[in-house]
Structure 1
Amino acid sequence: MTLLITLDALQTLDAIERRQSFAAAAEELHRVPSAVSYTINKLEEDLGVALFDRSRRKAELTAIGRLVLEEGRKILKAAEQLTALARQAADGWEVELRICIDSILSCDPIYDLIAAFQRVQPKTEIRLTEEVLGGSWDALCDDRCDLVIGAEGAPPAPGLALHSLGKVKFGFAVAAGHALTELPQPLPASAIQDYPTVIVADSSQRLPVRSAGLLDGRSRIIVPGIEHKMEVQRKGLGVGYLPLHRITQQLAEGQLVLLELDAPRPPTEISAAWRRGNTGKALKWFVDRLKKMHFDTERGILTQNP
């Protein structure tokens, strides 16, 4: 397929319009005026249209010429961006870095990392996604992300590198005024059987689904993420374990109340994980900084190692 409109022709057309004359455009493009005129004449001949109205003293763009110029500038911009991306990739920087954040964490600590990264390499596009339970490992194993932050438990497959961030603590939380708050503690499992347990659905697409904090209740309310679980329990629709760092405000304001069970849920270890062999500079930048950080169980943020 022969292209009738070349980048050179579009650059010439753009220079003429910006400089308001063929001679000035030729000077900018380091060509003789006759070469600029030839380029435009050839383009008009190939397209079979007039791009300039030459009936006047000063050549002006026709309506079609204006259309070609405006759309052509989009092509020139895209060509510039493609050139920059190619050079960026050749230098080892990814065009896009896909970061998966496990639902157990708030995204806020990650935003600070992204802000710092943008000051170093603003050209790399950052794509954030959220997964739940085994869904984080699933996304990494299935190549739907390059880096997982907050993956729970052990990796399900070989070939993955990880850095432990710390442990997340959980508390059994109910809405203020819930009937369970009137019972003596610690509560036996039988005490909660009359109340729905709120469960976060595992978002795995290929790996076997995981479960966490399941309680022996008669019914369950299944929600897509921690935020939904917090809200459902705050409204008193169900009960269950919640990560303590995510509910500090609700506890302080008296919206949620912590109760003690006779079989408390142990803390869950969370990690940053990535595929071995990925040598991208953007991934390395994030990994290097995550290796210097740990999860603060009280404040729920990533802080520098002491």
Structure 2
Amino acid sequence: MPVVGTPSLDQLQVLIAVVREGSFAAAGRRLHRATSAISYSISSLETQLGLELFDRTNARRPKLTSAGETVLAKARSVSSGVSDIKARVASIRQGLEAEISMVVDVMFPTQRLVDAVRAFEEKFPTVTLHLNLEALGAVSQLVQRGVARLGIGGIHHSDTTGFEVVSVGQVEMIPVATPTHALAGVDSNVVGAAKRHRQLVLRVREAFQPGPDVAVYAADTWSMSDLGAKHALLLAGLGWGYMPEPAVRQDIVDGRLVRLKVPESLGGFYLFQAMYRPDTPPGPAGAWLIQTLVEHA
């Protein structure tokens, strides 16, 4: 029986990249290598193992064979183990972080963020916190790109494949408009009425990959990535839309906005999770910040 060769960590990481990106060319772009180098690495791995890992019938999108599926699972396990070793060694060597870059979904309740950040700076005055606010799926994308080490984003708008995640609470989303809006009057609780009135929708900026639309019913929509702008347009009576309840609580109390009865969806909960890449986990200060968010969830 032929001796099975020992694959290198680099070959396994190339295999993972090809599957994740969907093609040899895309994997090359991700790893900053030529497509031919990716192809050679996979061919060498197949030769060492004595197995065909990909069905190359469709050259543009190679598909894993059943053997390839098995090897991929083990490759991911090995890669994860190595990342964990590196992360733990880095934590031991570095101790307390010099700085933390964090990106937070604009849906996250402002007061909760303020309280957590204030407590963090009191606890760790020597750690510089870089804070960025983004909408929806932009949070996980910035963490994936390494721009932010820690992300606080919504579960349904985040691609956390390969991430470590921790639940940090939720916020209620409710449909609102001005008291004079038709959906607050004659069209209140009428099935299909929401489709006939302009809906204000939060979406990611063009620099990011758009995610799925959730609770969008109207044919006429205005899109924006700024929750503050959406709030202002709602107050101006220029449409209706879903908002985090804490952001409009006082407006409802003061009568500037009303909670709508939209049969398609009366609202729901937007679930948050802290996320980070396993190869760059938070150190003591970052871990403390996550735990603080968990305790106040």
TM range, smaller chain: 0.5 to 0.7
> Could you list the runs of 5+ residues in structure 2 that have no partner in the other structure?
1-91
Work out which of the two has the higher radius of gyration on C-alpha atoms and give 1 or 2: 1
The equivalent residue for 2:224 is 223
Counting only pairs closer than 5 Å after superposition, residues 291-302 of structure 1 correspond to structure 2 as 291-294=294-297
Q: What percent identity do the matched residue pairs reach?
A: 21
2:151 & 2:166 partners in 1: Cα distance? Answer: 10
2:150 & 2:242 partners in 1: Cα distance? Answer: 27
Residue 133 of structure 2 is aligned to residue 123 of structure 1 = no
Contact 1:213 1:240 in 2 (8 A): no
Contact 1:203 1:209 in 2 (8 A): no
1:258 & 1:279 partners in 2: Cα distance? Answer: 39
1:279 & 1:236 partners in 2: Cα distance? Answer: 43
2:185 & 2:124 partners in 1: Cα distance? Answer: 56
The equivalent residue for 1:76 is none
TM, length-normalised to structure 2: 0.62
Of the candidates 125, 140, 145, which is equivalent to residue 142 of structure 1? Answer: 145
Residue 270 of structure 2 is aligned to residue 268 of structure 1 = yes
Secondary structure class of the residue paired with 1:267:
strand
Please say which of residues 97-106 and 147-156 is displaced more in the overlay: 147-156
2:95 & 2:103 partners in 1: Cα distance? Answer: 21
TM, length-normalised to structure 1: 0.60
Q: How many residues matched?
A: 205
RMSD, aligned α-carbons: 2.4
Q: CA deviation at 1:179?
A: 2.5
Give per-residue Cα distances to partners, 1:195-240, cap 9 Å, x unaligned: 21111122374544332221223x2212222221111111111112
Q: CA deviation at 1:289?
A: 2.1
The equivalent residue for 1:233 is 234
Write the letter of the residue equivalent to 1:188: V
Write the letter of the residue equivalent to 1:273: M
Deviant stretches of 4+, over 3 Å: 203-208
1:291 & 1:236 partners in 2: Cα distance? Answer: 36
> CA 1:145–1:182 in 2, change beyond 3 Å: closer, same or farther?
same
> Could you list the runs of 5+ residues in structure 1 that have no partner in the other structure?
1-88, 295-306
Residue 89 of structure 2 is aligned to residue 101 of structure 1 = no
Give per-residue Cα distances to partners, 1:161-203, cap 9 Å, x unaligned: 11222332222211121233222542222x2344211111223
Secondary structure class of the residue paired with 1:212:
coil
